[in-house]
Amino acid sequence: MAVGKKDISCPPYVKGREIELEDLKEKKVTYVEDHPDIRYSFTAGQAISKFLKGLKEGKILGVKCNKCGRVMVPPREFCELCFKPINEWVELKDTGVVETFSISYIDPDARPLEEPEIVAVIAIDGASPHMGILHKLGEVDPEKVYIGMRVKAVWKPEEEREGAITDIKYWKPIEG
């Protein structure tokens, strides 16, 4: 096989014409604009509906698989590993541990936020190890957050809860 050192530089050439954002703004290139307005109503499904109802009541619900024994949150209708239906629901604590966290300076469109926010994966007490949910931290200096920090849910007042993940405002450190 004729492999070994040789002087061929691939790709031999590259095509494409770069344009700048300014070229669009100043209409130097031809383009067409569209603003799709597509609306969706996502059903929450069997298991998550029950989970959201729990949040409205100030409770975090999980499920237990009777085959592998995992206590899972968010809850689900079937265990994806055993592929068996779930028939045991468990009420978990509204406390947990910071698995990992980030201090975010950007919104969903990558625009700068006025105030950075702390997002985290929180492993929920009462669930299997590393079983966490995505949420936010509050009442804490970003500098003071660490992995392994114990936290507790700060709920919206009962009358403001609507059966949504945002019924928990954020999670705050547990004193001491």
Partner 1 sequence: MMVEKVKGIKYHKKQDVAIVGAGMTIFRRRLNETGKELSYYAVKQALEEAGLDISDIDMVVMGSAPDAFDGVHMKGEYLLDGAGASNKPYVRVFVGGGTGVFAPIAGYWHVASGLADVCLVVCEEKMSSSHPHPQSAFKYIWDPILDRPLKPNLIWIFALEMRRYMHVHNIKHEDIALVSVKNKANALDHPAAQLAAKITVEDVLNSEPMALPVRRLDVSPPSDGAAAIVMVAPHIARQLTDEPVWVTGVGWSLDTTWWTNRDLYFPRYVAEAAKMAYKMAHITDPRKEIDVAEPYDPFDYKELHHMEGLGLAKKGEAPILTREGVTARDGDLPVCPSGGLLGVGNPIAASLGVKVAEIYWQLAYRAGKRQVAKEVTTGVAQAWGDLMQVGTVVVLSNKR
166 touches partner 1 by CB under 8 A: yes
Of 39, 40, 159, 175, which lies in the binding site for partner 1, with binding defined by CB under 8 A? 40
Provide the residue type at 161 as one letter.
Answer: R
Closest CA to 62 of 91, 95, 97: 91
Of the CA atoms within 13 Å of residue 117, those in its CB half-sphere come to: 14
Which SS3 state, helix, strand or coil, does residue 160 take?
Answer: helix
Say which residues have a Cβ less than 8 Å from residue 36's Cβ, sequence separation at least 6: none
Beta strand 60-64 pairing with 88-92 = antiparallel
Which region, judged by CB under 5 A, interacts with Zn ion, from 2-10, 42-50, 61-69, 128-136? 61-69
Residue 14 binds partner 1, judged by CB under 8 A: yes
Residue 97 touches partner 1, criterion: CB under 8 A: no
**Binding site partner of 67, from partner 1, Zn ion, none, Cβ cut-off 5-8 A by kind:** Zn ion
Residues near Zn ion (CB under 5 A) are 65, 67-68, 79, 81-82
Residues near partner 1 (CB under 8 A) are 1-21, 23-24, 29, 34, 36, 40, 42, 44-45, 48, 52, 72, 74, 76, 80, 99-111, 116, 119-121, 130-136, 147, 164-166
